[in-house]
């Protein structure tokens, strides 16, 4: 039972580069989300999806794109990396968020230099 | 607006001490409430939850009771262990944003 799988675990980017953080879940969950975790700020929602083909913005969407072509996958794209995007990124999924909360992946630590 | 306030850390305790981490929330209605735990270098794990007023969530010796009168969901454990050292996050399901709204986290350090 893999749960939520994120790749890569670590990444260093130069300012202006683009990249995609991968997220996959094998639990047939409808809800998927991307959060970023910064010191002293808890977790903030970047984008989320309530099903395949449906995405929406969270609290801090600028500089990121998402798509949800399948139930299993929810990649996060950084269009032009900036030092302010240095953070730990978590993907999460839920069957139905209201009562079950989210299952989190192990995170991607991104450094933009 | 919707928010979660939890006590700032770090909280440092000796093994077998009693733990309380305070959490209060501001939200419309009566959202589901959660405590997550994050061990060093890992993602967040659901520790416990409560979905309606007066419910008590419990797991691994931790407990929290949904108090709608005080909009609180304080985390307690009667006797902490070194292995409980982690960061604890209080959260609620924010229906308006289809998201979990998190507090800033409280780091717990338990010394032998």
C-beta atoms of B51 and A104 within 8 A: no
pLDDT at A55 over 80: yes
- Report yes or no: A40 and B104 within 8 Å, Cβ to Cβ: yes
How many whole angstroms separate alpha carbon B102 and alpha carbon A45?
Answer: 10
* Selected residues 46-105 of chain A with any CB under 8 Å from a CB in chain B: 48, 50, 56, 58-59, 90, 92, 97-105
pLDDT at B50: 94
Chain segment A61-112, per-residue pLDDT in tens: 999 999 999 999 999 999 999 999 999 999 999 887 567 778 999 999 999 9
- Taking contacts as CB-CB distances below 8 angstroms, the residues of chain A near B100 are 33, 43, 45, 92, 97, 101-102
pLDDT at A1: 63
How many whole angstroms separate alpha carbon A111 and alpha carbon A39?
Answer: 14
- Report yes or no: A90 and B43 within 8 Å, Cβ to Cβ: yes
Q: Which residues of B56-72 are buried (b: 16+ CB within 10 A; e: fewer)?
A: ebeeeebbbbbeeeebb
A97 phi and psi angles, rounded to 5 deg: -60, -30
- The H or E element containing residue A97 is helix A97-100
Closest partner residue to B43 (CB to CB) among A31, A90, A99 is A90
Comparing C-alpha atoms, which of B87, B63, B84 is closest to residue B74? B63
Query: Which of A30, A42, A45 is most worth mutating to test chain B (most B CB atoms within 10 A of its CB)?
Result: A42
């Amino acid at each position: 039972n893999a749960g939520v799988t994120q790749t890569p675990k670590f990444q260093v980017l130069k300012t202006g580069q683009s990249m995609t953080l991968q997220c996959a879940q094998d639990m047939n969950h409808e809800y998927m989300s991307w959060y970023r975790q910064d010191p002293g700020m808890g977790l903030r929602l970047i984008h989320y999806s309530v099903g395949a083909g449906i995405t929406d913005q969270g609290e801090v969407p600028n500089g990121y794109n998402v798509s949800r072509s399948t139930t299993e996958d929810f990649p996060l794209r950084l269009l032009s990396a900036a030092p302010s995007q240095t953070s730990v990124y978590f993907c999460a999924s839920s069957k139905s968020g209201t009562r079950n909360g989210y299952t989190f992946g192990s995170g991607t630590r991104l450094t933009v230099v | 607006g919707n928010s979660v306030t939890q006590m700032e850390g770090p909280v440092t305790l000796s093994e077998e001490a009693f733990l309380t981490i305070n959490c209060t929330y501001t939200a419309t209605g009566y959202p589901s409430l959660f405590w997550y735990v994050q061990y060093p270098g890992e993602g967040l794990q659901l520790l416990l939850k409560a979905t309606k007023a007066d419910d008590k969530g419990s797991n691994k010796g931790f407990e929290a009771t949904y108090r709608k009168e005080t909009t609180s969901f304080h985390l307690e454990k009667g006797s902490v262990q070194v292995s409980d050292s982690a960061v604890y996050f209080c959260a609620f399901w924010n229906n308006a944003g289809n998201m979990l709204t998190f507090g800033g986290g409280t780091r717990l350090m338990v010394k032998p």
